[in-house]
């Protein structure tokens, strides 16, 4: 988790690296332990700061994916019930996948 936070606060990382770190964080929140959720909540200020993320490649601003993903994660962290629904849905999905249903 500490490497994930280092990447998200890095100003030299490309938008793809930060976006992939956010995808990993979302996966850990939905599939991981409660400690991952708690750690993400402790670093919510860092996630909120990504709402203003800009990364230009030529004339195109590639930072929109990072901004959107960080907003989604902050919204997810704000709603405990939503997190538990997502976790339950994933457990059910995995169980059915294993059972071949």
Where along the chain do its domains lie?
A: 2-99
15-47, pLDDT tens digit by residue? 999 999 999 999 999 888 889 999 999 999 999
Task: Check pLDDT > 90 for residue 97.
Answer: no
Tell me the whole-structure pTM to 2 decimals.
0.84
4-11's contacts with Cβ under 8 Å and 24+ in sequence apart are 5/43, 5/46, 8/43, 8/46, 8/47, 8/50, 9/46, 9/49
**CATH fold group of domain 2-99:** 1.25.40
């Amino acid at each position: 988790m500490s490497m994930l936070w280092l990447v998200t606060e890095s100003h030299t990382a490309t938008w793809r690296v930060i976006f992939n770190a956010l995808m990993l964080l979302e996966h850990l929140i939905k599939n991981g332990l409660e400690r991952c959720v708690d750690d993400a909540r402790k670093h919510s200020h860092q996630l909120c700061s990504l709402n203003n993320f800009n990364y230009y490649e030529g004339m195109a601003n590639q930072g929109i994916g990072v901004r959107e993903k960080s907003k989604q994660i902050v919204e997810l962290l704000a709603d405990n019930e939503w997190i538990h629904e997502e976790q339950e849905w994933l457990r059910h999905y995995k169980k059915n996948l294993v059972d071949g249903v």
